[in-house]
Amino acid sequence: MSDLEQFEVWLQEQDRSPVTVRGYMADLRAFAAWFEQTNGKALGVEEVTPADVREYRGWLQAVKRAGAATVRRHLMALRAYCRWGVETERIDRDPTARVKLPREETLSPGWLAKQEQYRLLREAERAVSAADTPTRRRLAVRDRALVVFLLNTGLRIAEACALTVEDVQIGERSGWVVVRGGKGNKSRKVPLNVEVRRALNAWREERGDGEGSVFDLTPSGAYRRLVEMGRRAGVEVHPHTLRHTLAKNLVDAGVGLHEVAALLGHSSLNTTRVYVTPGERDLERALQVLEG
């Protein structure tokens, strides 16, 4: 069994979620390819030096033009790999320990303004009305349900796509969804408001009662559908945009960070604070107060 295969088993034994494991392995394979090309030898944890880590950080920034968040993600995967090396006594010291991670950006990680949310929802509804075949209507109703669901629950795309029919309970006056195996392999229960219940019921009527996946989409497929709807609506939508938007909407409505963190499945309030850091629009509005 290779180093990478043993590291993957170790990650799984740490009770990491499947999504986290796949992400770490993808980032580490990218480092392995860079390491072999740069040093002329295959990656082994005992071969990694602090100079390699610093050089890789610089390569990501200067050559790949990766942003701070992407560089941090790659280095966190490498840090986990080296920690595995220490714990399994393959190496004595962690070569990533003294290498600084890029600072996280302090401005908004990206959410939709109220007008942008309206345009995205309007486009989703327009697609349903304009559907001229049963297949197009089915897809349009599904896509609208996905947008409404993500905007009002804050689930990660991977979490939403992993939902099964059995995970969703909808009554006349209430509803909820059980998120199993989220980030950190934690489960949580998220309530469904009336808008989500109506959208999901419309989708249920369209697809018919059945078992299996709620949305019949992979995370990459869901991402492509969101990007396409955003393009037609003139709104830039990324995987976490709707999740960040819910957090910002809740905080703007006076909901406390503890409640927002619980809904989003955050174990630390510091993570939640990143989601609601004032963005450029907020700072512009703050300064407009002085304009009289």
CATH code, domain with 30: 1.10.150.130
* Any domain includes 229: yes
Beta bridge partners of 168: 177
CB 102 within 8 A of CB 56: no
Q: Are residues 124 and 203 in the same domain?
A: yes
Beta bridge partners of 169: 176
Q: Are residues 69 and 138 in the same domain?
A: no
CATH number (domain holding residue 144)? 1.10.443.10
Domain that holds residue 139: 114-283
SS3 label, residue 164: strand
Domain count, the chain: 2
Q: 188 φ, ψ to 5°? A: -150, 165
pLDDT at 187: 77
pLDDT at 106: 44
CB 18 within 8 A of CB 29: no
- The DSSP call for residue 190 is E
Contacts of 32 (CB under 8 A, 6+ apart): 4, 42, 43
5: left (phi over 0), alpha (psi -120 to 50) or beta: alpha
The first and second tokens of residue 245, run together, are: 């938007």
Q: Are residues 16 and 156 in the same domain?
A: no
Q: Are residues 129 and 255 in the same domain?
A: yes
- What are the residue ranges in the chain where pLDDT is below 70? 104-109, 181-186, 209, 239, 267-292
| Amino acid (one-letter) located at 220 | S
CB 219 within 8 A of CB 187: no
* Any domain includes 260: yes
* Any domain includes 104: no
Q: Are residues 118 and 83 in the same domain?
A: no
* Any domain includes 289: no
Q: Are residues 159 and 276 in the same domain?
A: yes
d(CA 246, CA 264): 9
* Any domain includes 101: no
The first and second tokens of residue 33, run together, are: 């390819």
* Any domain includes 105: no
Q: 170 φ, ψ to 5°? A: -130, 120
Q: State the residue for tokens 């610093």.
A: 54
d(CA 73, CA 71): 5
CA 181 to chain centre: 14
Predicted structure pTM score: 0.59
Q: Are residues 72 and 149 in the same domain?
A: no
d(CA 30, CA 35): 9
Helix ranges (H only) for the chain are: 3-13, 18-39, 50-62, 68-87, 114-130, 134-153, 157-162, 194-207, 219-233, 241-252, 257-264, 269-275, 280-288
Q: Are residues 259 and 187 in the same domain?
A: yes
Q: Are residues 74 and 139 in the same domain?
A: no
pLDDT at 261: 77
pLDDT at 108: 46
Q: Are residues 155 and 17 in the same domain?
A: no
